[in-house]
């Protein structure tokens, strides 16, 4: 009997295996990194310099080049939106960032990562939470040690942020802040420590999930509205209303508040004492400010807990911030003021977002 040649059979089997493995592998998600600077892009004079370095020194391309493993998690592209320490973040950059994210996510981008300094990251992530109109993931990320430092935390944080941004599991949770393998929600997260890598906490509310083996695992969600469910549209706004923050303390002088009111901001958020309590001389000036058309929001300097409405708020025409700290209340008030000056409406927004 004539033996059948084995070669064509092997070729057929090998071909089938290659074909089926190509079929099985999902294409990598498309993730765009929008770089804004910060310590994650910072450089110091030596590997032991951990403070006093220059934030916002490396470019987006250099950040990506430092993490070769990124290519296994996503098809990554990058754009430089700014290159600053986040203490220099502006409303103008926020608007540019939010618009760019909306354009990218309306197209074939699966997720966006924003590299950002940690100092004001909680404000930026909340701004994006209120202005991005997509369920696709938007993740902000930073570092507490500059890229040049021994045990720099930026590269792993960036890898994890990209893996979250590329994951379908991360859709619909609002804007997220990913650092130290922790996923925090935009509304609650706040910077709690000046130097430690694990600086971001959601305090009373807790984090939303962990990044485990470079995959997001979620345990909870915020019930407050966000992203495509908000009423804010920044597509036609080129400047945010001016809102200032007033800090309260024992025996505060009138000078700073008088100057603030004279500059006619659209709103003032007060970091009050306890449940947003106000020093009586300041309260009187703020009541006058309301009569001049300035929207005043009472918040608290304590760091946790709601600032609640009391009868005197109705009489004075004040709004209360609920659990938002002063800097986040300012973000929401700026956006609220793009829609209305009506106190009841603004209070409703503070109970909604």
Q: Which residues bind ligand ASP (CB under 6 A)?
A: 38-39, 55, 85-87, 117-119, 142, 144
Q: What are phi and psi of 114, to 5 degrees?
A: -110, 115
Tell how strand 319-320 and strand 295-300 pair up. parallel
Q: Which two tokens stand for residue 44?
A: 């110091």
Write the secondary structure of 132-168 as one string of H (helix), E (strand) and C (coil). CCCCCCEEEECCCCCCCCCCCCHHHHHHHHHHHHCCH
Q: Give the shortest CB-38-to-ligand ASP separation in angstroms.
A: 3
Q: Which two tokens stand for residue 334?
A: 């700026």
Q: Give the shortest CB-40-to-ligand ASP separation in angstroms.
A: 6
- Interatomic CA distance for residues 176 and 25, integer angstroms: 27
User: 3-state SS of the chain: helix, strand, coil percent to 5?
Assistant: 35, 20, 40
Nearer to ligand ASP, 46 or 194 (CB): 194
Tell how strand 75-84 and strand 30-37 pair up. parallel
Whose structure tokens read 């792993």?
Answer: 156
Residue nearest ligand ASP, CB atom distance: 117
Q: Which of 32, 36, 39, 227 is catalytic?
A: 39
Nearer to ligand ASP, 195 or 250 (CB): 195
Q: Give the shortest CB-84-to-ligand ASP separation in angstroms.
A: 7
Nearer to ligand ASP, 88 or 287 (CB): 88
Q: Give the shortest CB-317-to-ligand ASP separation in angstroms.
A: 35
Q: Which two tokens stand for residue 151?
A: 């045990």
Q: Give the shortest CB-142-to-ligand ASP separation in angstroms.
A: 5
Residue 177 neighbours by CB distance under 10 Å: 31
Nearer to ligand ASP, 86 or 230 (CB): 86
Nearer to ligand ASP, 147 or 324 (CB): 147
* Residue 302 falls in the annotated catalytic set: no
Q: How far is CA 237 from CA 89, 105, 265, 345, in A?
A: 18, 19, 17, 20
> What is the full DSSP assignment across 222-246?
--S--GGGSS---TT-SSPPPEEEE
Residue positions annotated with a catalytic role: 39
């Amino acid at each position: 009997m004539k033996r059948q040649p084995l070669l064509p059979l092997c070729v057929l089997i090998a071909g089938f295996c290659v074909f089926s493995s190509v079929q099985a592998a999902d294409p990598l998600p498309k993730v765009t990194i929008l770089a804004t600077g910060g310590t994650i892009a910072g450089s110091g004079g030596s590997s032991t310099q951990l403070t006093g370095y220059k934030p916002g020194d490396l470019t987006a391309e250099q950040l990506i080049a430092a993490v070769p493993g990124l290519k296994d998690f996503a098809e990554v592209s990058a754009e430089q939106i700014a290159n600053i320490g986040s203490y220099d973040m502006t409303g103008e950059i926020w608007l540019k960032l939010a618009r760019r994210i909306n354009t990218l996510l309306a197209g074939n981008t699966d997720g966006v990562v924003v590299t950002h300094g940690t100092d004001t990251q909680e404000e930026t992530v909340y701004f994006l939470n209120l202005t991005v109109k997509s369920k696709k993931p938007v993740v902000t990320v930073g570092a507490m040690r500059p890229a040049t430092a021994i045990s720099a935390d930026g590269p792993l944080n960036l890898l994890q942020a990209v893996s979250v941004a590329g994951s379908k599991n991360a859709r619909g949770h609002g804007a997220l802040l990913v650092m130290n393998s922790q996923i925090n929600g935009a509304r609650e997260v706040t910077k709690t420590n000046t130097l430690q890598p694990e600086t971001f906490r959601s305090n009373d509310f807790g984090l939303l999930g962990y990044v485990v083996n470079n995959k997001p695992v979620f345990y909870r969600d915020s019930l407050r509205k966000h992203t495509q469910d908000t009423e804010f549209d920044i597509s036609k706004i080129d400047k945010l209303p001016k809102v200032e923050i007033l800090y309260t303390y024992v025996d505060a002088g009138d000078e700073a508040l008088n100057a603030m009111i004279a500059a006619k901001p659209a709103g003032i958020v007060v970091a009050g004492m306890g449940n947003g309590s106000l020093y009586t001389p300041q309260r009187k000036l703020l009541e006058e400010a309301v009569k001049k058309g300035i929207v005043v929001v009472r918040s608290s300097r304590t760091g946790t807990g709601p600032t609640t409405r009391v009868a005197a708020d109705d009489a004075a025409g004040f709004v209360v911030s609920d659990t938002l700290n002063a800097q986040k209340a300012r973000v929401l008030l700026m956006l609220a003021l793009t829609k209305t000056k009506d106190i009841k409406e603004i209070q409703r927004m503070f109970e909604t977002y």
